[in-house]
């Protein structure tokens, strides 16, 4: 192993311990730029920009081509792709003092920066109204994975199916159903096209996910491991939606056939 390979991991964090350098990396992740262009975009002097680009070139994050453009190296691109991970937790530090990602598979935690461009909605009444809007806006397909259903959920699902929207749902053996929802399901599900609604059950739902064609929403568990219906994270950002799609499909592939069970009634 050569000397360069012995560079401590802490040196990577040292390079990222500058907002200016992080800005430069993110700008170059989109396309190559000359030093003067970088300087204008980050609002820094030519001297400061040169100092930082020179430093990152020396550490292997950047390379300057023969036309004077700076590009990310493959090493730099990999490092830059992780900035959103830390940015998401930094922006939502207070939220994660009261919530956890503990039961989510590690591969999704590593990609959690995909949720960065989001809106956080608080207050259970507003959250339920927002979920109702998300579900009712679905056009071709609605995907939901829930730890705790709510009274209007059954009506929203029935309305979707009647409007030609296919519904795929994931429930846990411990998922809680309000009595009104069970009664609505017993009354309406048998009347719906069975090809338009499909449900699977898993041992336990670690996170609630709602996905329409346009947007997606996530509800994380609190520190007790209970999905917190008081706070919804929602976005129309494609990366956000893809993260939700992938975690849904992960659990969908693990699920078994679901049947309504009165033991879930509260």
pLDDT tens digits for range 36-69: 999 999 999 999 999 999 999 999 999 999 999 9
Q: Indicate if 148 and 39 belong to the same structural domain.
A: no
pLDDT digits (tens, 9 = 90+) for 245-257: 999 999 999 998 7
- Whether 220 is in a domain gets the answer yes
Are residues 151 and 56 part of one domain? Answer: no
Q: Which range marks the domain in which residue 241 is found? A: 98-264
Residue 204: Cβ-neighbour burial (10 angstroms; 0-12, 13-18, 19+): exposed
Dihedral over Cα of 194, 198, 199, 200: its sign = positive
126 lies in a domain?
yes
Q: Are residues 119 and 241 in the same domain?
A: yes
Largest separation between any pair of C-alpha atoms in the chain: 72
Helix (H, G, I), strand (E, B) or coil at 260: coil
The confidence band for 198, taking pLDDT boundaries of 50, 70 and 90, is: confident
- Looking at the structure, do residues 248 and 142 belong to the same domain, yes or no? yes
Digit-coded pLDDT (tens) for 105-117: 999 999 999 999 9
User: Tell me, what's the pLDDT at 34?
Assistant: 95
pLDDT reported for residue 266: 36
In this structure, the answer to whether residues 29 and 139 fall within a common structural domain is no
The yes-or-no verdict on residue 1 having pLDDT over 50 is no
Residue 87 within any structural domain of the chain: no
Q: What local confidence, expressed as pLDDT, does residue 265 receive?
A: 36
pLDDT of residue 86: 87
Asked if 115 and 226 sit in the same domain, the reply is yes
**Domain end position, chosen among 33, 56, 81:** 81
**Helix (H), strand (E) at residue 170:** strand 166-176
Task: Please indicate, yes or no, whether residues 200 and 127 belong to a single structural domain of this protein.
Answer: yes
Q: What is the pTM of this model?
A: 0.79
**Both tokens assigned to 163:** 């409007």
Place of tokens 């329409």: 212
pLDDT in tens, 132-190: 899 988 989 999 998 877 767 777 777 888 888 999 989 888 777 666 555 565 566 65
Residue 8, both tokens: 């401590």
Among 29-38, 147-156, 201-210, the range scoring the smallest mean pLDDT is: 147-156
- The confidence band for 35, taking pLDDT boundaries of 50, 70 and 90, is very high
Over residues 18-32, mean pLDDT: 93
Q: Are residues 182 and 55 in the same domain?
A: no
Check residue 51 and give its pLDDT: 95
Do 70 and 106 fall into the same domain? no
**Within-domain flag for 24:** yes
């Amino acid at each position: 192993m050569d000397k360069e390979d012995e560079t401590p991991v802490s040196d990577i964090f040292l390079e990222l311990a500058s907002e200016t350098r992080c800005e430069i990396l993110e700008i170059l992740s989109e396309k190559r730029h000359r030093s003067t262009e970088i300087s204008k975009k980050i609002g820094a002097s030519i001297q400061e920009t040169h100092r930082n680009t020179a430093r990152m070139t020396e550490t292997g994050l950047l390379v300057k081509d023969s036309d004077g453009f700076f590009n990310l190296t493959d090493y730099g691109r990999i490092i830059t792709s992780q900035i959103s991970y830390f940015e998401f937790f930094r922006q939502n530090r207070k939220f994660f003092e009261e919530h956890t990602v503990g039961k989510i598979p590690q591969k999704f935690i590593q990609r959690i920066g995909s949720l960065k461009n989001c809106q956080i909605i608080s207050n259970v009444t507003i959250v339920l109204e927002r979920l109702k809007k998300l579900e009712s806006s679905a056009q071709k397909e609605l995907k939901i994975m829930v730890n705790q259903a709510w009274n209007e959920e059954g009506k929203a699902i029935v309305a979707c199916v009647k409007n030609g929207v296919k519904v795929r749902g994931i429930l846990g053996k411990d998922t809680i159903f309000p009595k009104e929802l069970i009664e609505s399901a017993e009354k309406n599900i048998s009347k719906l096209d069975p090809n338009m609604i499909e449900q699977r059950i898993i041992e336990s739902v670690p996170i609630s996910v709602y996905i329409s064609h346009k947007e997606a929403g996530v509800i994380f568990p609190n520190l007790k491991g209970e999905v917190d219906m008081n706070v919804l994270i929602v976005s129309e950002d494609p990366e956000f939606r893809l993260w939700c799609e992938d975690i849904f499909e992960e659990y969908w592939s693990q699920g078994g056939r679901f049947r309504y069970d009165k033991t879930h009634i509260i």
